[in-house]
């Protein structure tokens, strides 16, 4: 019975992680741009480059986090497949 209630919760967690990927990318870009904007305000001679470089760093950070999340979910799915194949193999 515990296994039946565990599976839906794992699915909900995976859906939550996957849906957060888009938000992570957007928030990382905005935060990076904002930090670059603050750099521009502190040193006005860096005018367009502060915000641009901050946004690019934010985009890079967002993509790295997206790759980490997808790798983590993929690893979990592979482990589930291995466990299921072991169970199916022992039942036959």
- Classify burial at 33, counting beta carbons within 10 Å of its beta carbon; exposed 0-12, middle 13-18, buried 19 or more: buried
Q: What is the pLDDT of residue 92?
A: 57
Q: Which domain holds residue 31?
A: 2-83
CB 36 within 8 A of CB 52: yes
pLDDT per residue over 21-68, tens digit each? 889 999 999 999 999 999 999 999 988 899 999 999 999 999 999 999
Q: Residue 30 domain-assigned?
A: yes
Q: Give the count of domains, the chain.
A: 1
Residue 91 falls inside a structural domain: no
What pLDDT was estimated at residue 91? Answer: 66
pTM of the model: 0.74
Q: Which pLDDT score, from 0 to 100, does residue 29 have?
A: 95
Query: Does residue 27 lie in a domain region?
Result: yes
């Amino acid at each position: 019975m515990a296994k039946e209630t565990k599976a839906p919760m794992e699915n909900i967690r995976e859906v939550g992680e996957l849906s957060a990927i888009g938000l992570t990318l957007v928030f990382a870009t905005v935060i990076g741009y904002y930090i670059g904007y603050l750099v521009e305000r502190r040193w006005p001679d860096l005018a367009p480059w502060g915000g641009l470089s901050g946004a690019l760093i934010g985009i890079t950070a967002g993509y790295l986090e997206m790759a980490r999340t997808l790798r983590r979910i993929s690893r979990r799915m592979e482990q589930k497949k291995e466990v299921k194949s072991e169970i199916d193999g022992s039942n036959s």
